[in-house]
Amino acid sequence: MLEEAGLKLKKVKCPMCGKKFVPKFFHREKVKYEFGSTFYRIKNPKFKNSNENGRPYNIVRRSWVTFCPKCKYIIKFAAEVGKKEMLAEFSSFLHLKEFKENGNIYEYNFYNYGKPYKEALYYNEILMEGMRNNILNTLEDLKLESWGKLYKMWKSEKTIDSFKFLIRFYSLILKYIEIPDIEISNEKYSEQIKKLDISEDLKKDLLEIKKLRNKVVYEYHDLNEMDEKFIQNIFVNLVFDLIFKKLVQMGLNSIYNKKDTEIIDNKFIYSKLKKIIGNYLEEQLGLGEYANEFVISLLNKLKITLT
Ligand SMILES: [Zn+2]
């Protein structure tokens, strides 16, 4: 039986040094308690307070143990408590657990109590849950599905070739810069690209994409391996930039850096963030072998590191 004592969402105060802290853990420990010893009953005056000269009303069989991170004082809470309960019905001889006192038959029934306070892991998970929802909602705004679908068709499903990818990628860029006209002039195109809030290198690359697309369409240029690599890099860099900006907007790095370092575990949060963003990239874009490097560079750029 587990009686939930209601986990407290507050810090434990160390009775020795007064430090308030969130316990990293509680472990259950067996309490050595021997009852039935006449010697103990006679010699220990405390025992008398519990119940004349009988056995105590409550005994502790297991405790939750933690310690103060500052002075290392060990702090215990009851985890399993035996309550002395009188039996209404009993047989003529005593069962193993039963005992007689003042003409009545008693036994101890044991009750379990949950951990008295929330542990650090709980706080880490709550913070992480908030971050996860925030990240996924933020990235959803990017509407990367069409970008991802196209990239997957090219890279993992191989249902389109590099030529088709380039043509469709170019039209996605036009959509992105809000130009519906495929035959937009170079001047107008470059004007729109320059307005974008992206790095200068990326702007140059997007201008090159138009040139390459024109070469393929009008000059019958066959895409070679270098071209393919180039197109792929620009695609990945553009997506990287879009995601990075969104995460900066939502303040992901300030949430990460403002955390309470006494409670929040860097490694835990870092690896969870890597997983959340990595899964998102895999689902949306199918970046495959690039995903890990992508996420690590993204977190680095956001100044989210393990140190
Ligand atoms: Zn202490």
CA of 71 to the centre of ligand 1 (A): 4
Cα first-last separation, the chain: 44
Distance 255 CA to ligand 1 centre (A): 29
pTM: predicted TM-score of the whole model, two decimal places: 0.76
Half-sphere exposure (Cβ direction) of 194: Cα atoms closer than 13 Å:
6
Lowest mean per-residue pLDDT among 18-22, 182-186, 233-237: 182-186
Q: How far is the CA of 25 from the centre of ligand 1 (A)?
A: 15
Q: How far is the CA of 21 from the centre of ligand 1 (A)?
A: 9
Segment 188-238, tens digit of pLDDT: 999 999 998 888 999 999 999 999 999 999 998 999 999 999 999 999 999
User: How far is the centre of ligand 1, averaged over its atoms, from the C-alpha of 58 (Å)?
Assistant: 28
Q: Measuring CA to CA, which residue among 41, 46, 48, 55 is closest to residue 85?
A: 55
Distance (angstroms) between ligand 1 centre and the Cα of 61 equals: 25
Ligand 1 centroid–CA 267 distance in Å is 26
| Residue 5 CA to ligand 1 centre (angstroms) | 24
216, 231 contact by CB (below 8 A):
no
Tell me how far apart the alpha carbons of residues 210 and 98 are, in angstroms, rounded to a whole number. Answer: 89
Q: How far is CA 78 from CA 7, 100, 111, 112, 269, in A?
A: 13, 26, 10, 9, 32
| Whole-number pLDDT of residue 16 | 97
16 CA distance to ligand 1 centroid (A)? 5
Distance 206 CA to ligand 1 centre (A): 60
User: Among 24-28, 107-111, 179-183, 248-252, which is the least confidently predicted range?
Assistant: 179-183
**Res 259: pLDDT:** 83
The 10s digit of each residue's pLDDT in 109-150 is 999 999 999 999 999 999 999 999 999 999 998 888 899 999
Q: How many CB atoms lie within 10 A of CB 129?
A: 11
Q: Say what percent of the chain tops pLDDT 90.
A: 63
Residue range 62-118, pLDDT digits in tens: 999 999 999 999 999 999 999 999 988 767 777 778 888 888 889 999 999 999 999
Long-range contacts of 192-196 (CB under 8 A, 24+ apart): none
Instruction: List CB-based neighbours of ion ligand 1 within 5 Å.
Output: 14, 16-17, 19, 68, 70-71, 73
- Here the tokens at position 243 are 């995601």
Rounded distance from Cα 54 to ligand 1 centre (Å): 36
Per domain, the residue ranges of the chain are 2-117, 122-301
Q: How far is the CA of 13 from the centre of ligand 1 (A)?
A: 8
Q: In angstroms, what is the span from residue 52 Cα to ligand 1's centroid? A: 36
What's the 69 CA to ligand 1 centre distance in angstroms? 7
- Quote the ligand 1 centre to 24 CA distance (angstroms): 14
Token pair 């025992």 is found at 47
Mean pLDDT, residues 258-274 taken together: 90
